[in-house]
Amino acid sequence: MDKKIVIPGDLLSGNVKKAGYGTYVKNDKVYSSLCGIENIKEERVGVIPLAGTYIPSPNDVVIGIVIVVTPSNWIMDIASPYDGLFHVSEYPRRVESREMSGILDVGDAVIIRVKDVDSSMKVELALKESNLQKLRTGQIVEVAPVKVPRVIGHGGSMISMLKKETNCSIFVGQNGRIWIDGKDEDMELLRKGLQAIESEAQRSGLTDWVYNFLQNERIRQKEPKASTFFKNEKKDVAETKEVHAEETYRKIDALLDPK
């Protein structure tokens, strides 16, 4: 059975200790503050929003794309209404201004952490952790940021299954950008799987459903394509018939109009 869709004001629980994301408490009861999918667990009740843009928070790890290089900052699109500022001092080593474009240029993608967000929504980024890096291979797929929890799955169940079934490396940014890397046919399969997760996010038993989806897509990938041999053979037969017809018409013309 599909999960329940709720709207702001819908009653979710009579236990205020269970209030989670997307809820508010009134008169010792928990209500939905969002339009989304009811998300009930033993210890928490919350709402997974159906739509919404990414709003940066400190310590989020995201995928940013360089849009401007200044003498002291890389300005990045982080799939948010607010751009991120990556100051040169936050790079793992000392960098001179003249080197900046050689290290990160416009269009380069980076796995990076949100260091701080102030009251005016100035977003500062940092790249000093060893797992943060420039992306040199693979592809970036984008999903709605609110669907990221479904891509990861409970306890990482979905993303573990995706890695296993597609033989791809995957990194999921909290801003909805997902880096994938592997063989071309495997990345294509994974891309379809991610699109399926986004479109079917409200479905219960989603991990099992996506597993079956991937199995069916893999079978389609292996189906032999129509051979060009038969197409060429049909073409040759048609051309032969046309030649024979022309010869027949010439013989008839010769009989009717002998010279």
Higher per-residue pLDDT: 168 or 242:
168
Identify the pLDDT of residue 234: 54
Tokens of 158: 């979905």
Rg (CA), the chain: 29
Q: In sequence order, what are the beta bridge partners of 31?
A: 11, 24
Res. 210: pLDDT tops 70: yes
Complete domains list, the chain, with CATH: 5-49 (2.40.50.100), 61-126 (2.40.50.140), 139-222 (3.30.1370.10)
Of 19-28, 160-169, 216-225, 233-242, which gets the smallest average pLDDT?
233-242
* pLDDT confidence band for 257 (50 / 70 / 90): low
Instruction: Find the mean pLDDT for residues 210-234.
Output: 75
Higher per-residue pLDDT: 226 or 105:
105
Tokens of 37: 């999918």
Identify the pLDDT of residue 238: 58
Per-residue pLDDT tens over the stretch 10-63: 999 999 888 887 889 999 999 998 777 788 777 788 887 767 788 888 999 999
The whole-model pTM stands at 0.70
Residue 96: C-alpha distances to residues 89, 125, 186 (Å)? 10, 18, 40
Per-residue pLDDT tens over the stretch 132-189: 889 999 999 999 998 898 999 988 999 999 999 999 999 999 999 999 999 999 999 9
Instruction: Find the mean pLDDT for residues 104-128.
Output: 92
Give the whole-angstrom CA distance, residue 78 versus residue 84. 6
* pLDDT confidence band for 1 (50 / 70 / 90): very low
